Amino acid sequence: MKKITLLITLLLFVNAHAQFFENEFGQQPETLTIDEWTGTDWNEIATQEATFNVDCLVETITTLISGLESTRSIYSYNSEKQVIEIINQINNAGTWINSSRTQNTYTGDNLTDEIESIWTGSSWVNSLRTQSTYTGSNLTEEIVSNWDGANWLNSFRFQYTYTGDNLTEEIESNWDGANWVLFSRTLYNYTVSNQLLDDLFQLRNAENTAWENANRTVYTYDASDLLVQEAYEEWNAAGTAWDSSELRTYFYTGSTISEVITSYWDGFEYVPEDRSLLSYNGDGLIAQIILQEYNGVDWENTARVTFIYPACQSLSTEEFTTFDFSFYPNPSNGHIKILNLSQDQSALNYTIYDMSGRLVKQGKLNSDFTISTQNITDGLYVLKLSDQLHTVAKQLVVKH
């Protein structure tokens, strides 16, 4: 049971939490291996293997888990290299059985309709739908619906407000059967250089309709605008002050994250809880993450994640220097604008990867040099622009 619990935690870490880590050229790994620390040595408990098509886009990702059924995800793309379908399967005694499916519909670069279905044994049945509305490349509304067997029924609504290029407010409402009822909102503040300063989460008081503080995250940057701390705080029961809760601290080698320490507040001070040590290969791709826990005196190994990449993602020195670009805002709150490109470079392809190397989004750069990040989860990513011969990548922070 301990092994399975650790494995689930690691898979969540690799697919979500690891997106905070700097990886100069984030890519989908061909093989990802997870090991647990036995006290004296590393013991493999899971692997994740990917296959790729001729465009080096992911075709399948298979997860092999010690003591559990293996799973597989199959990806399909349209002519614009956008993911239009993902089918998830479970291996049952050597036979792959459908489990769930996601189908995506796009309008240009914008994902406008996402439908999730479950497999009943003989057919796909609708489950969840997300419909998105945009103003240009800015996501302004998302409506989430559930399938009742005959119709899509409203469930949640998310509304987004911007000031210039910055997302400043996100409001969540619930459907009561007749009307949308306000539930929560998040307010975002920025520095003069458009770095996210803090985000404040509030809940709606149903009795007096007032917005009441719940929690907030405060961000600190160094002189190079690198994120060095995230402080998570909770509003106290008396409703008078912010109480410290958790602190995440980032350490860099150059501009690349090499260590992340998470600490908790014990009522008097921050106490180290766990840390991640990151190393990279010669291409700047993340090669290994070692996870450790603090025992009160020293750091003890708990797990290790190792990444191996396919030949189609190998990068040469020439790819780094042929052209360059910059973009804003960073952190991105809805979309980014690419700068310092000539008009004949507007046909470049772009890809966005999280820090575990998972492909998040890809497509062709449009004529106004903008890329939407509205459907990307908050975190640290790599944005890569490329043509047939050259590739340049930059760190991208997404924070809605």
353-387 pLDDT tens trace: 765 556 678 777 766 677 888 778 777 777 887 76
The type of residue at 212 is E
As a whole number of angstroms, the distance between CA 319 and CA 389 comes to: 7
Query: In angstroms, what CA-CA distances link 18 with 74, 230, 249, 392?
Result: 22, 15, 14, 22
pTM exceeds cut of 0.85? no
Q: In what order do the strands lie in the sheet with 370-372?
A: 326-328, 335-339, 370-372
Query: What is the maximal distance between C-alpha atoms in the chain?
Result: 63
165-194 pLDDT tens trace: 788 999 999 999 999 999 999 999 988 877
As a whole number of angstroms, the distance between CA 169 and CA 181 comes to: 17
List the Cα angle 28/46/119 in 5-degree steps: 75
Predicted pLDDT of residue 25? 35
Coarse DSSP helix, strand, coil percentages of the chain, rounded to the nearest 5 percent:
5, 60, 30
Predicted pLDDT of residue 167? 85
> The dihedral of CA 8, 48, 373, 222: what is its sign?
positive
Q: Which residue ranges in the chain fall short of pLDDT 50?
A: 1-4, 8, 12-26, 315-322, 342-344, 346
* Tokens matching residue 80: 């614009």
As a whole number of angstroms, the distance between CA 380 and CA 276 comes to: 15
* Tokens matching residue 134: 């945009």
Predicted pLDDT of residue 280? 85
Predicted pLDDT of residue 27? 63
Residues 10 and 17: beta-carbon distance below 8 Å: no
- The length of the chain in residues reads 400
Q: Can you give the C-alpha Rg of the chain in angstroms?
A: 22
Predicted pLDDT of residue 400? 66
The type of residue at 23 is N
Predicted pLDDT of residue 321? 38
As a whole number of angstroms, the distance between CA 214 and CA 35 comes to: 37
List the Cα angle 249/251/253 in 5-degree steps: 165
